[in-house]
Chain A
Amino acid sequence: MTSERTTEQSPPPRARSPFLFWMNMTGDERKDLVQKFAALFSLVVLIIAFSLTSNAFFSLGNAMTVSLQTTSIAFLGIGVTVVILTGGIDLSVGSVLALSGTVAGLLVKAGWPVYAGMGAGVLVGTLCGIINGLVVTRLKLAPFIATLGMMMIARGVALQLTGAAPVSQLGEAFGELGNGSFFRMLEKGANGLPHMIFPGVPYPVVLMVIMAIIVAFVLRRLSIGRHIYAVGSNEEASRLAGVNVNGTKMFAYATSGFLAGITGIILMSRLVTAQPNEGVMYELDAIAAAVIGGTSLMGGVGTISGTMIGAFVIGILRNGLNMNGVSSFIQQIIIGCVIIGTVYVDHLRNRR
């Protein structure tokens, strides 16, 4: 009886309040909402489409797989977003992750404890970011050039250190970070084989959520975040207002390097091998994720939530197309079209 009444009564306010909400918004708020939901909407459409075309797609297990596959793009995308917000770009993250991962691998191979080796790997990534920042702020080179240089340097160092060969036999502990998960529930089945009740939430996924929340918090609630947007919006005005422009940029590049370092150790941990060739072209996926999520390459516009959506759009596209047996060549074509389509929307939004 009560349930009937609530279902009867709820439609009018539900139908009206979003409408009122819509009416109370200014034109730009509406456009931003449309833009945001456009990415979210395409995400939902993708999920529905793939659920219909492949019955293995819509399952908790696959959701965790997709999330795990998306972590790399998400980590890199978050870092790159912070840099792009300042009006810069970071092309080096794919190489920096390889360098960080191989340094971690080599150190563990040399007998360092896993946490120390991995910590050093992340530190190397952060250091690469700091060097990027120094080149941009002190040598005053265009971010594109500075990070293009770092992209080659970091890859070269990684290859040189390892002799271009993968470093394997790193021990089980090295694979823990990338392959472990929380709340994994197994049950002994009737036939004696373990039966999985819940696949568990992989550590990288948890870390991704934590990092996304931290960076989003920094951008929205702290003055350094406000300065990141301000510098990207109008660097000269920020300087005149007393913002430490160089410090702000340094922070952005260091954050990006740090997250590339994290990506590196997670990826190598997943493979339980340090691969100097890992992460080629990942920077482009990361930039694509940011751009699909509404980040403007001109700086000053973008959110972490948008980038996360962008990362998942790419991740789900790859996963779903794979499950449908679409070749990787066709996948590239489709993802390329998605990028152009979303940048076009971004362009429309900024043209006003």
Chain B
Amino acid sequence: MNAQSPVVEMNNIIKRFGGIHAVEDVSLNLYPGEVVGVLGHNGAGKSCLMKILSGAMGYDGGEIKIQGDAVEMSSPIDARHCGIETIYQTLALADHLNAPANLFLGRELKTRFGMLDDRKMEEETRKALRSLNPNFKNITEAVMNMSGGQRQVIAIARAIYFNARIVIMDEPTAALGPSETAMVAELIEKLRERGIGIFLISHDMDDVCELCDRIVVMKNGRKVGEHQVGEVNKDDILSLIIKGELPDNWVPRNRTTV
């Protein structure tokens, strides 16, 4: 896998808010078909790093390359042109609009005469949502009246509908029930098979160990660890998250067991 060239290269990214170093000199790669877990304590800078990649947040230093080309990520539209889709931690839905309007927000389907094609959008949304949650009803209801899980499903559907090459998921299963979480796990598997690169932010250690190929740990804006998932166990990851370093006398776990 690593023989391929990376789809995303983030080099020495810096983001500061006044005195707060939200992201400090972080470099990170992502390969096609790879799932990289991004971990860290609350406020470690995970969301900031991902927002920078998705064009939602400006950055103060560093460079971003998509498939080898340096790009200026100055707006979400730039990121979209690079094939990057994002599920934001805040879900980023327009509450008074319904599911189809949210799914196609900013890229509405239109009829030949340039008018909104609501019927087509509704149809497509129904398909997209059913594939994630077969019980999804009332899709024409304003999303403010939907459950947290349903809202999350809409945010996920929006990220995968448009054939992204890179998907960023910021705590995508935070509000989901067990069956929906399993559905997302399945979905990640499917996306990986299609060669899509995925950044997965999660606080759930089991999810991360199960779904990811590689993990990156952040602490106070810095990257403190980057490992293939087999090299570390949960205690090692926990140690990285809390102390910012591996336990003393650590050796790659897969080497000792074999």
Contacts and interface: CB of A to CB of B under 8 A. Distances in A.
Interface of A: 26, 28, 220-223, 225-227, 229-230, 232-234, 236-243, 300-301
A241 B114 CA distance: 20
B76 A301 contact: no
Given A230-B94, A234-B92, A234-B94, A243 B116 contact: no
13 contacts: A28-B142, A221-B115, A222-B114, A230-B101, A234-B93, A237-B91, A238-B106, A240-B54, A240-B86, A241-B76, A241-B102, A241-B106, A241-B158
A85 to B, nearest CB: 10
Contact of B105 (A26, A226, A300): A226
Nearest to B51: A240
Interface of B: 54, 56, 75-77, 80, 86, 88, 90-97, 101-102, 105-108, 110, 114-116, 138, 141-142, 145, 158
A215 to B, nearest CB: 15
Contacts of A240: 54, 56, 76, 86, 88, 92
A284 to B, nearest CB: 25
A233 B93 CA distance: 9
Given A241-B105, A242-B80, 5 more contacts: A230-B101, A233-B94, A233-B96, A236-B90, A242-B77
A147 to B, nearest CB: 23
A26 B138 contact: yes
B106 A243 contact: yes
Contacts of A241: 76, 92, 94, 102, 105-106, 158
The 9 nearest A-B residue pairs measured at CB: A242-B106, A237-B92, A300-B96, A233-B94, A241-B106, A233-B96, A241-B105, A230-B94, A223-B108
Contact of B107 (A26, A220, A242): A242
A80 to B, nearest CB: 18
Contacts of B93: 234, 237
B97 A229 contact: yes
A227 B93 CA distance: 13
Given A226-B101, A226-B108, A234 B77 contact: no
A88 to B, nearest CB: 15
A242 B93 CA distance: 12
Contacts of A223: 108, 110, 116
Contacts of B102: 241
A242 to B, nearest CB: 4
Contacts of B94: 229-230, 233-234, 237-238, 241, 300
Contact of B96 (A227, A229, A243): A229
Contacts of B92: 234, 236-237, 240-241
Contacts of B97: 226, 229-230, 233, 300
Contact of A226 (B88, B91, B116, B145): B116
Contacts of B54: 240
A238 B142 CA distance: 15
Contacts of B76: 239-242
Query: Which of B75, B101, B105 has the most CB atoms of chain A within a 10 A radius of its CB?
Result: B105
B88 to A, nearest CB: 6
